[in-house]
Amino acid sequence: MRRADRLFLIIHALRGRRTALPARNLAETLGVSLRTIYRDVADLQLSGVPIEGEAGVGYVLRKGADIPPLMFTADELESLVVGTRFVRAFAGEKLATGAQAALLKIEAVLPPELRERAARTRIYAPMWRNERTIEFAARIDRLHGAISGNRVLRLDYRDEAGRASAREVEPLCLAFWGGKWTLGAWCRLREGFRNFRPDRIDTLDETGEVFATVAGRDLDAYLQAVRGDYGGLE
């Protein structure tokens, strides 16, 4: 976690409390040492954040020091909460952690009635964590990283009929189709756009090559092909 995010979450944890929050609770929540919490709180106090209290006693945010609320409607906020739950349930760990951190920041500046409404939403995306789902989430993170870095991938892949092939691809995007992920890519073997199911990839390696964005085989061209009902699902 970045230090800036940690400082924000400390303020969030103190916001609206009537009793002092022990530093040990903050340390356990954020996964850092007590010394780190003491140092962070001292820095926040020096920067003008009205935190009262001391080490060994606990901390509170001075009354009247609330952050102005964001202008979200109840429906907009519920959409954000539900979206975060889906990302946590179905995306990789990196995206899931980012979504949760973003939601904490949003909730930190909401008025109490909207924050309570967010907590009461009855749309869920249950998280089932076992060895297989953890491994798959890690694969989504790897694919996401390769897309962000324009890194060429080498795949050992099985198509729908179980036929195996070796591919080198230029990964362009990930798409979630309500139960299945696909990787949109330029396939060097087929010399065209293809969609690959991550769950059908037997092995996944980076070649060490970084590919350049080329008109006609970039993300824009891929999306145009998809909109034109291009049928390249393998």
Q: Which of 18, 8, 10, 9 is nearest to 38 (CA)?
A: 10
CB 143 within 8 A of CB 174: yes
Residue 75 reports pLDDT greater than 50: yes
Does residue 43 or residue 12 have the better pLDDT?
Answer: 43
Average pLDDT, the chain: 86
Give the angle subtended at the CA of 14 by the CAs of 12 and 17, to the nearest 5°.
Answer: 125
Average pLDDT over residues 154-182: 94
pLDDT for res 35? 92
pLDDT for res 190? 94
pLDDT for res 71? 61
pLDDT for res 5? 81
CB 147 within 8 A of CB 156: no
pLDDT for res 18? 79
Q: Which of 58, 47, 57 is nearest to 17 (CA)?
A: 58
**25 φ/ψ angles, rounded to the nearest 5 degrees:** -65, -40
pLDDT for res 64? 57
Average pLDDT over residues 142-154: 97
Q: If pLDDT is split at 50, 70 and 90, which confidence band does 231 have?
A: very low
CB 206 within 8 A of CB 154: yes
Residue 198 reports pLDDT greater than 80: yes
pLDDT for res 23? 92
Rounded to two decimals, the pTM is 0.66
Cα–Cα distance measured from residue 48 to residue 36, given in angstroms and rounded to the nearest whole number: 19
